[in-house]
Structure 1
Amino acid sequence: MNTVTVQGDRLIVAPRGLDKLWSFTRQLDIPLSSVRGATVDTGVRREQRGIRAPGLAIPGKYAGTFHRDGERSFWNVGDPVRNVVIELDGTGKYHRLVLTVDDPAAVEKSVNAAL
């Protein structure tokens, strides 16, 4: 599970609990200028993630950095339906973030409103 907040001109993603350990990430701090948008996606867990490095990949739980088709994505997903995808412009470390959150619709709305 993750906490996603907009603070000023930054998007802050903080994995919670053991997800920090599994994803090798305490927090992601991304400029809003790099964010293209957010979308609720209940079927994203069925997508191909690519090669994991570093992180965790077991059935039902994917956490960490995944490389696929020359792009790097951050995944921290453990719920089948409460997921949001945040697309980035690729100028930073990641091209997209795939996250399980408490309220995907609220995260989608707050991120897109901040843009």
Structure 2
Amino acid sequence: MAGSADVDRSGDVNTVHLVGRVTSLDPPRTLPSGDVVHGVRVTVGREARARPGVDALDVACWSAATRRVAGRLEVGDRVEVDGSLRRRFFRAGGAPASRYEVEARRLRRVSAPAS
């Protein structure tokens, strides 16, 4: 059996593009590694062919640029996110767990909330 280093991934693509509303903001947190991450939850309406509703997606802002933008956002802002889907592993209640999130490469506010 070939190891993962022997797999040709030259055609692989992991690109996410979202446009939606900010529904929650986590304060920046410093991890034990010293890295800082700022979390934003973005809600996006589902396409017409799917059941009506929305998807709430967690966005992780690791770079200084995306953290800076995230720090100026407010709940209700409409945002555009370009990034990649990541699976994050952690422990919850002593048991292993995982979740998917979008790692933002670029984050920008499209419009402020309607007054």
TM-score class, shorter-chain normalisation, is: 0.3 to 0.5
TM-score (norm 2): 0.34
- Rg: which structure is higher? 2
More strand by share: 2
More helix by share: 1
